[in-house]
Amino acid sequence: MKILECNNLTKCYHKKCIVNNLSFHVNRGEVFAFIGSNGAGKTTTIKMILGLVEIDGGEVKFAEQIRVGYSPETPYFLPFLSGYEVLDYYAGLQRISKRERRAEISNLLDTVGLENTGTKVKNYSKGMIQRLAFAQSLLGSPDLLILDEPTAGLDALGRVEIMELIEKLKKSGRTIIINSHILNDMERICDRGILIKSGVQIGTWNKTDYNGISLEKIFIDLVGGMKE
Amino acid sequence: MIIAFTSFKEKIRRKELYLVSVTGVLILLIFGTGSGSLTINGEAVTDYKSLAPILLIVINAISCSLAVVMNIGTIPNEYERKTSHLVWIRKIPQCRYHGELTAANTFSGLVSEAILFLALFIFMISHGRSGELWRLLPAYLMIGINVTIVSVMTSAFSILIPRLVSGTISAAVMLMGIFHSLLSLLKDIIGGFGGEIVRYALKIIPNLHGIQTQAVNVLCNKSIDVHMILTGMLAVYAFAALIFVLKRKEA
Amino acid sequence: MKKAIIFILIGAALIAGVIATGSYGLSEDNIHIYEQAVALEKGNSNLGFEGFAMTDYPVAFYDGDHDYVIVWENGGYNIVKRKAVINSIAAAAYCVDGHYEVLAPAVEKMSSLLKMMTTGSAEYGREECVATLWHEAFHCWQLTNYYDNIEAICSGEAEENLIAEYADTNPQAVALFERQAALLENAVKTDDIDMIREYIAEYKKLDEQRKALFSGNITALEEYYTRVEGTACYVEACVYQMQLPEKFCSAYIDHISEYGKGSNKYYKSGMAQCMILDTLNPQWKESYDFSEPLINLIYQELGLACESLQ
């Protein structure tokens, strides 16, 4: 059952198309990947899905009344707030009642492995900030979670922690879209995806179809090992 | 108002707000309490009726300048650090988002104005005007209209115009508003095409000087021009409408 | 939707408030000033100058955009709005379509200008405005009736900056003028003819010394201001005295001897000479045609020999 369908998505800046006629759909309960090198148009595609940039062509169709959570590539939170306060702020924007908020935030901090000690964001490590971004994306139990480069800038340990977190969410049956250029990570947790080069879809990937062939090999075959 | 409240918390952490306000208070106190001397045309100005307007003019100028500084980057910053993404995806309309950020800035501006008014408070007491301290409230509110005009205007400009340009325009409009009467005189002196340009500019530039004059009138027990105050409030309204109408295409 | 409607209603209320409290056309203040000026004429006719009537000259108030011309006709007045002739920043007598009019900034403009220049300490009240209108109306009368005589006082390229350049920078001339002005002030303040003669005789000696310091151009310029502006200033002072007799001395008499750079000092000395003439011969104005220096009339009245200054 489709939760999201994109048809002929196009975005151009100054006559140059960053995303060109991209079409795909995401099914409920799967982890979907946007695979491509840096600058391939993955983030722009996500922004079009989220309505953060205007679409020049094509359409984005969501299944009716779904809630969407989003974790940005480089999250910024007000440094003088604690993790709890950050989540409280975004929960407030979502009009989650104060009573529900307290329980949900504690639960989410627990889920992402952050302690509610009142530590200010300015004292957080990159990994902690990324996990906090995760937590805010989960506020209000979204039906669809969109994660933009969730492991970007993290060290090996941080990456492992985040991947474990995503796997945990996957097991809970959540639909997730991930955008990453780290192919090993994608291969490990994603079910399906599309490969993008210069804003154009150059192929699709399905874990079940390519049993035994690494995503890296498929990607290099399709992209031609060339940098974009 | 959660965005406004959080943004206000961010603003009151800015050191420059206090630095400028406290410096302003010190300057005002030096001249207001007789520790320093202010001379105009070679004559020392010491009496209440001459000094009070000068102090209000200084407070107005500092408060309005602070309002420009505080508002110039707030909305662009939100988009630069991409905090806007997490707000937009929660279906918060831009008019509410920008409106609340502006409200936070305006409130910060009013707080700094209140700090500056402390100097006037001390000045009035030192001049034996304790019985007239109530006049500070309407005077504060009137200068507050100016601060609000400048805040809302700067925020409105900063939605779509790059920071440097919007800041320059806002500062220019603020200065022209403060020197509205002087420009009116200039218009009459230069005449011709230049005078016509100034004439039309004066029609759209908020008369900050006029409102400040009403605050001075309150402080000096003179009648006030309600029209001037209502016109100032209409300017706030017009710029607020701009905040609600102007929209960014991208977060 | 509800919020939008509330917002629109607030806007409508503000616009209505701005419209309701705004002033359109010439403000009542200006009209009252004109009425007050006219009322003084009814009681005191021409202040002694034969043929002078303030109401003969239209008064145009400039509000920053337009002139509002008040014309006296058949015992009442009409107000006509027109494109501003000049952007008046100070009251002046000005020739418009072949006749002279008083052009003045509207009182609100004048008041705000003064506040700006004096950081709010100066007061420019209704009485000062009325006196100024009379001053300028008197210039209209001078220019309408005695243009040739006035032109003859100061021919050529004489300009006010000559005063600043020569008269105000010459310490000897300044010292002499200060002594002369003090003598005039003393003469104004007494009714004793002998005392006046004494002061004026001394004045005459100093005047001859002072005139020897300058070229004819500067002397002519000084005489122009003394005669033309001095008489207008005298009219202004008389009008002010009618309205605020208690403030008259402090506003006009007590400062005669104060030296100021520029032309204003001649206004005061001319005014003082008119006042001395009032003491010596109250009818002096009836036939005065601006062809003779005021001081010469004083010398004649006091029987002091004099040289023509023309």
Q: How close B74 comes to chain A (CA, Å)?
A: 13
Taking CB atoms and an 8 Å cutoff, what residues of chain B touch C112?
Answer: 181, 184, 213
Residue B181 lies in a domain: yes
Taking CB atoms and an 8 Å cutoff, what residues of chain C touch B213?
Answer: 112, 115
Q: Hey, are the CB atoms on C120 and B181 less than 8 Å from each other?
A: no
Q: How close B163 comes to chain C (CA, Å)?
A: 28
pLDDT score of C158 = 55
Q: How close B170 comes to chain A (CA, Å)?
A: 27
- Cβ-nearest to A94 among B83, B90, B250: B90
Q: Hey, are the CB atoms on B53 and C119 less than 8 Å from each other?
A: yes
Size of interface A-B (CB pairs under 8 A): 51
Which residue matches tokens 């985040």? A162
pLDDT score of C45 = 62
Is C130 within 8 Å of C243 (Cβ atoms)? yes
Q: Hey, are the CB atoms on B2 and A93 less than 8 Å from each other?
A: yes
Q: Do chains A and C touch (3 or more CB pairs under 8 A)?
A: no
Taking CB atoms and an 8 Å cutoff, what residues of chain B touch C89?
Answer: 185, 188-189
Is B79 within 8 Å of B251 (Cβ atoms)? yes
Taking CB atoms and an 8 Å cutoff, what residues of chain C touch B230?
Answer: 14, 17-18, 21
- Cβ-nearest to A136 among B9, B82, B86: B86
Q: Hey, are the CB atoms on B241 and C22 less than 8 Å from each other?
A: no
pLDDT score of C120 = 52
Q: How close B15 comes to chain C (CA, Å)?
A: 33
Chain B contact present for A68, CB below 8 A? yes
- A204-214 average pLDDT score: 79
- A115-139 average pLDDT score: 90
- Cβ-nearest to A70 among B81, B89, B249: B89
Size of interface B-C (CB pairs under 8 A): 64
Instruction: Tell whether the model's pLDDT for residue A126 goes beyond 80.
Output: yes
Q: Hey, are the CB atoms on B241 and C88 less than 8 Å from each other?
A: no
Residue B113 lies in a domain: yes
CA dihedral C37, C41, C47, C53 (to 10 degrees): 100
> Chains with 3 or more CB pairs closer than 8 angstroms to C?
B
Q: How close C14 comes to chain B (CA, Å)?
A: 6
Chunk chain C into consecutive blocks of 10 residues (it has 310) and report each block's average pLDDT, rounded to whole numbers: 91 95 86 92 76 93 90 90 87 93 89 64 77 95 92 71 79 93 95 93 92 83 92 95 92 89 90 95 91 93 64
- pLDDT tens digits, one per residue of A2-34: 899 999 999 998 888 899 999 999 999 899 999
For residue C288, the Cα-to-chain-centroid distance in whole angstroms is 18
- CA gap B33, B124 in Å, rounded: 9
Taking CB atoms and an 8 Å cutoff, what residues of chain B touch A78?
Answer: 6, 9-10, 83
Residue B251 lies in a domain: no
Taking CB atoms and an 8 Å cutoff, what residues of chain B touch C28?
Answer: none
Residue B75 lies in a domain: yes
- A152-156 average pLDDT score: 80
> Chains with 3 or more CB pairs closer than 8 angstroms to A?
B
Report residues of chain B scoring pLDDT below 50: none
- pLDDT tens digits, one per residue of A166-180: 888 888 888 999 998
Q: Hey, are the CB atoms on B86 and A80 less than 8 Å from each other?
A: no
Angle between helices C264-280 and C230-243 (to 10 degrees): 70
- Restricting to B residues 58-77, those with a Cβ less than 8 Å away from any Cβ of A are none
Structure tokens at B185: 């005189």
Q: How close B112 comes to chain A (CA, Å)?
A: 21
Taking CB atoms and an 8 Å cutoff, what residues of chain B touch C116?
Answer: 181-182, 185
This prediction's pTM: 0.79
Taking CB atoms and an 8 Å cutoff, what residues of chain B touch A52?
Answer: 85, 88-89, 250-251
Residue B250 lies in a domain: no
pLDDT score of C15 = 96
pLDDT score of C310 = 40
Residue B154 lies in a domain: yes
Q: How close B137 comes to chain C (CA, Å)?
A: 21
Q: Please count the structural domains in chain B.
A: 1
- CA gap B120, B251 in Å, rounded: 43
A64, containing H or E segment: none
Of A110, A106, A147, A142, the C-alpha closest to A130 is: A147
- Split at pLDDT 50, 70, 90, the class of A228 is very low
Chain A contact present for B251, CB below 8 A? yes
Instruction: Tell whether the model's pLDDT for residue A108 goes beyond 70.
Output: yes
Best of A52, A68, A87 to disrupt the B interface (most B CBs within 10 Å) is: A52
Per the DSSP assignment, residues forming a β-bridge with A39 are none
Q: Hey, are the CB atoms on A90 and B86 less than 8 Å from each other?
A: yes
- Per the structure, the complete domain to which residue B8 belongs is given by 2-245
Residue B214 lies in a domain: yes
- CA gap B76, A210 in Å, rounded: 46
Taking CB atoms and an 8 Å cutoff, what residues of chain A touch B82?
Answer: 72, 74, 76
Residue B217 lies in a domain: yes
Chain A contact present for B47, CB below 8 A? no
pLDDT score of A155 = 81
Name the amino acid, one letter, at C252: Y
